[in-house]
Chain A
């Protein structure tokens, strides 16, 4: 075999490796989804969604978990979005990216984005649950998750703000606008689709979070729906964890059913994010 033939063979082999590994990764996704569907699909019913958890798998449902998730995520959005977007605007519009302080801020935000979620749990437990005395309430959960997704929202919003061309800012200044008017009147609306996409994706991350909520004391058995922000709660992922940890096969199956509901919510959110992105990409700025 000549060197050339050997090199060609090696290249072919390499190309096939790349292809196979890529499709194996997609295969894992398919296996995961089909495993969960085959286990859980038969348990899906209106009763399942509209019943409280139970000691008996066939009577158990996710009503309290679904309502808990809705409560927690709504408050999370209220707390995190304004702060995250404001932070992004300060970094992009008011600060000089060459200054040491701004670089420190930027690295700090990237670090926060990579901080293990369980540490946010310890933070929430000490600061909100015990420090302010909110206990294992909806408020504690959403404040904790807000801090968790804050850096993600900041980073996504920064990207969206960066994508707004400077010519729009200059055009607005040339009309005698002040800086805040340029930002609120032009940059924010122009960046809004991108920001919304980022916000939806980070909220979908918050919906799937489990560990920090276990740490702050979200209960695993809740037979009521929260009526206000100070009530105790559970969320869907915690409920799933609880069922997954039991030895009985039926509980694994209803855990799968819970996962199907959770994934359906997440995929819907992703779809909405993609649709927003595409709708506003029609006109390039």
Chain B
């Protein structure tokens, strides 16, 4: 059966090639974003790009200060996290501490459905439902506004935050909880003083990953938040995020190879650096804990 020894080696090599491809994908992304932005930064100073306060690449006189896009992204992300983090922790608590088997059996699938709804649907929901509701309460709100996008992005990342927190609570030894309950602590006290501090790094990692996800979110903000790059802290105004700028350029008939087109890659590179850093940190911590447990 010598032939099957040969097959053994060939088989392993083929599998290895597939694994190598995953590294190749990352490398290619870095290469592409790197070269395209390098060309861009020969024409526009990197300093003006990173610290400029005005983003008007499609109008004359052009200006390429990315801060308004970053600020718009930031506004949406902060709002989304402010909604999703407390809600996620409360849902995780409910699921792990006092939901009955029956309610778990429909809450978990419902959260999975929530997580599986395409982002374009969320965007549509924000535009046609959440925004009108906000405008009834706060009539000064613009048709496109950051608040509506933030709410819907918050809902979108909620299942992820809840399930990561739930994993965090579950990874703790039972004895920790039981000891505290044994001393007569209430559920609130156990969560507040035992579970959250003890799974702090997990929750931290969850937040980092959720922020990264929200930063990269595209369709919901494109539909709901508008296309007005603007440095503002007012969530009721129209803004533009990094992602929705890229979509805007792709939808338009901006000539390929032109400087406006290259801005896509410069903004994309910035987006990549931000999310890559956050994903790396978040995944590193989550994996590290897995390795230590193993």
Report the nearest B residue to A39, measured CB to CB.
B128
Also in contact, A215 and B186, with CB within 8 A (given A19-B94, A118-B216): no
Q: Which of B21, B33, B218, B243 contacts A83 (CB 8 A)?
A: B21
One digit per residue, 1 when the CB lies within 8 angstroms of any chain A CB and 0 when it does not, for chain B 215-258 equals 11111001100000000000000000001001100110000000
Also in contact, A122 and B32, with CB within 8 A (given A108-B26, A178-B8, A245-B223): yes
Q: How big is the B interface, by class?
A: 35 or more
CA distance A262 to B122 in the complex (A): 13
Chain A positions 220-261 with a Cβ under 8 Å from a chain B Cβ: 220, 237, 240-241, 244-245, 252, 255-256, 259
Q: Which of A13, A201, A237, A241 has the most CB of B within 10 A?
A: A241
- Chain B residues within 8 Å of A201, by CB: 116
Q: Is the CB of A123 within 8 A of B32?
A: yes
CA distance A119 to B222 in the complex (A): 15
Chain B positions 264-286 with a Cβ under 8 Å from a chain A Cβ: 264-265, 268, 271-272, 275-276, 279-280, 282-284, 286
CA distance A89 to B19 in the complex (A): 9
One digit per residue, 1 when the CB lies within 8 angstroms of any chain B CB and 0 when it does not, for chain A 112-124 equals 1011111101110
Q: Is the CB of B117 within 8 A of A208?
A: yes
Stretch with Cβ within 8 A of A (4 or more), from B42-50, B106-114, B171-179: B106-114
- Chain B residues within 8 Å of A255, by CB: 124
Report the nearest A residue to B213, measured CB to CB.
A114
- Chain B residues within 8 Å of A123, by CB: 25, 28-29, 32
Q: Is the CB of B246 within 8 A of A105?
A: no
Q: Is the CB of B189 within 8 A of A7?
A: yes
Q: Is the CB of B117 within 8 A of A263?
A: yes
Q: Is the CB of A87 within 8 A of B19?
A: yes
- Chain A residues within 8 Å of B26, by CB: 108, 111-112
Also in contact, A35 and B287, with CB within 8 A (given A25-B111, A122-B268, A245-B223): no
Q: Is the CB of A103 within 8 A of B287?
A: yes
CA distance A116 to B36 in the complex (A): 18
Stretch with Cβ within 8 A of B (4 or more), from A41-49, A59-67, A70-78, A146-154: A146-154
- Number of A-B residue pairs, CB cutoff 8 Å, is 256
Is A174 in contact with chain B by the CB < 8 A criterion? no
CA distance A63 to B272 in the complex (A): 35
- Chain B residues within 8 Å of A119, by CB: 29, 33, 216, 268, 271-272, 275
How far in angstroms is the closest Cβ of chain A from B154? 10
Q: Is the CB of A115 within 8 A of B189?
A: no
Q: Is the CB of A114 within 8 A of B212?
A: yes
- Chain B residues within 8 Å of A115, by CB: 29, 216, 272, 275-276, 279
Also in contact, A107 and B94, with CB within 8 A (given A10-B188, A114-B209, A237-B120): no
Q: Measuring CB to CB, which residues of chain A are less than 8 angstroms from any residue of chain B? A: 7-8, 10-11, 13-15, 17-19, 21-22, 24-26, 28-29, 31-32, 35-36, 39, 82-83, 86-87, 89-91, 94, 97-98, 103, 105-112, 114-119, 121-123, 126-127, 147, 150-151, 154, 178-181, 183, 201, 204-205, 207-211, 214-215, 217, 220, 237, 240-241, 244-245, 252, 255-256, 259, 262-263, 266-267, 270, 274
User: What are 16 A-B interface contacts by the 8 Å CB criterion?
Assistant: A7-B189, A11-B186, A31-B129, A39-B128, A87-B15, A97-B291, A107-B287, A114-B213, A115-B275, A115-B279, A119-B275, A121-B250, A179-B8, A244-B120, A252-B124, A262-B118
Q: Measuring CB to CB, which residues of chain B are less than 8 angstroms from any residue of chain A? A: 1, 4-5, 7-8, 11-12, 14-16, 18-19, 21-23, 25-26, 28-29, 32-33, 36, 86-87, 90-91, 93-95, 97-99, 107, 109-114, 116-121, 123-125, 127-129, 155, 158, 162, 186-189, 191, 209, 212-213, 215-219, 222-223, 243, 246-247, 250-251, 264-265, 268, 271-272, 275-276, 279-280, 282-284, 286-287, 291, 294
